[in-house]
Amino acid sequence: MKILSKNSAIGRREFLAATSGLLATAVPGGEMLAHAPNSEGPHSNAAAPTPAGAMRKIPIGVFDPVYKDLSLDAMLDKVSALGLEVMEIGTGGYPENHHCPLDELVTDRAKAKAWQKRFEDRGLRVATLSCHGNPIHPDPQHAQKDIDTFRKTVLLAEILGVKVIVGFSGCPGGTPQDTQPNWITYRWPPEYAEMQDWQWKERIVPYWKDAAKYAREHGIKRLAFEMHPNFAVYNPRTLMKLREAVGEEIGANCDLSHLFWQGCDPVEVIHFLGKQGALFHAHMKDTVLYPEYVARYGVLNFAIKKEERPEASDEFRAVGYGHSASLWKAVVKAYMYVGYEGILSIENEDLILSGEVGVERAAYVLKNVRGELLSE
């Protein structure tokens, strides 16, 4: 995988700081994409041949926390103006519920339908509801809050006819006495293997068996887990482990930004999960890796805040600003090829192209590569 170097005459960070404002005023994505790092995965130009017949036009939308400072109507005006077609709406948990008064809507069907109609009046569809929390947190109060949010989200999805709920698998403690989560990824020394086995047997699988049953009873058969660090499901293997233990209600929110830094090939992941019938949702977010810091510190050296950027090995970027547009074209093609039935949901956590600007750039890239694929 080719990854962007920080070495340049004026310095990579200085260049980005100096040019981001200028680029924002240009044709969306045009200038930056011309110089985007060509971080192609090993199979990005070798996707399987397109099957015969029409390729599905996968709807492009956005996850609403990026507009947390806007009212619902102001947000809908922004999203509609971008020519997007669908939305993913947070109902609680870590992203909170800035535009979805969950308690009100779930107890009043008329209010819920009126809320949904505000989207439809602008040509938008609420495609997924998201409650990214930790319902198996060892703190009982924390866990119960996220359990309640999940159950209310299921009820709202039933009212609205939404078929996919997005979230995290959660992470328990390592023992019954723990008060904080314990993310275990390496099974040695032996006590770590014992703790991980206990987590899955006593906390993770039992909770999600019960939660999946509850969702199924209310007509929701797609629980899309984001494969995210610090949670039990963090890569395709752990996702499939949970799916095999719980049932086919468990699937992926395939956010490639968390898989790029783990060394996954995006096209390979999409084909693997698609073959299993486990692709339920897709976050559209990029990651850039900086080779000198990867070489020095490894990949577990991620910048979450701006002040962490100077020596970071990797950070989130808007689509097309961590990997080239040709890579993202291969990604969208792979989704089309496997018959993915969900949406492409832009999630912007870019520290340079923050907020609405990152959404605009990502939308520009995705709409263009989708258009190219549909016209081929």
pLDDT tens-digit profile of 257-298?
Answer: 999 999 999 999 999 999 999 999 999 999 999 999 999 999
Residue 321 near residue 349 (C-beta atoms within 8 A)? no
Residue reference for tokens 């093609």: 333
Residue 352 has pLDDT above 80, yes or no: yes
Strand ranges (E), the chain? 60-63, 86-93, 125-132, 164-167, 222-226, 250-253, 279-284, 286-289, 302-303, 314-317, 344-346
Rounded CA separation 330/271 (Å):
12
pLDDT digits 0-9 by tens, 290-324:
999 999 999 999 999 999 999 999 999 999 999 99
Residue 138 near residue 181 (C-beta atoms within 8 A)? yes
The DSSP secondary-structure symbol of 32 reads H
Lowest mean pLDDT among 12-26, 44-58, 344-358: 12-26
Q: Number of helices (H) and strands (E), helices first, in the chain? A: 14, 11
Lowest mean pLDDT among 45-54, 178-187, 264-273, 360-369: 45-54
User: Higher model confidence: residue 189 or residue 7?
Assistant: 189
Mean pLDDT, the chain, whole residue set: 89
Residue reference for tokens 């939305």: 87
Angle, helix 205-217 to helix 236-246, in steps of 10 degrees: 70
Give the three-state DSSP class for 241.
helix
Work out whether strand 302-303 and strand 286-289 pair parallel, antiparallel, or are unpaired: unpaired
User: Higher model confidence: residue 24 or residue 62?
Assistant: 62
Residue reference for tokens 């002040």: 307
pLDDT in the model for residue 22? 32
pLDDT digits 0-9 by tens, 41-53:
444 443 444 454 4
Q: What is the DSSP track for 63-117?
A: EGGGGTTS-HHHHHHHHHHTT--EEEEEEEETT--SS--HHHHHH-HHHHHHHHH
What's the pTM?
Answer: 0.87
| Overall average pLDDT of the 24-39 stretch | 37
pLDDT in the model for residue 55? 84
User: Higher model confidence: residue 55 or residue 104?
Assistant: 104
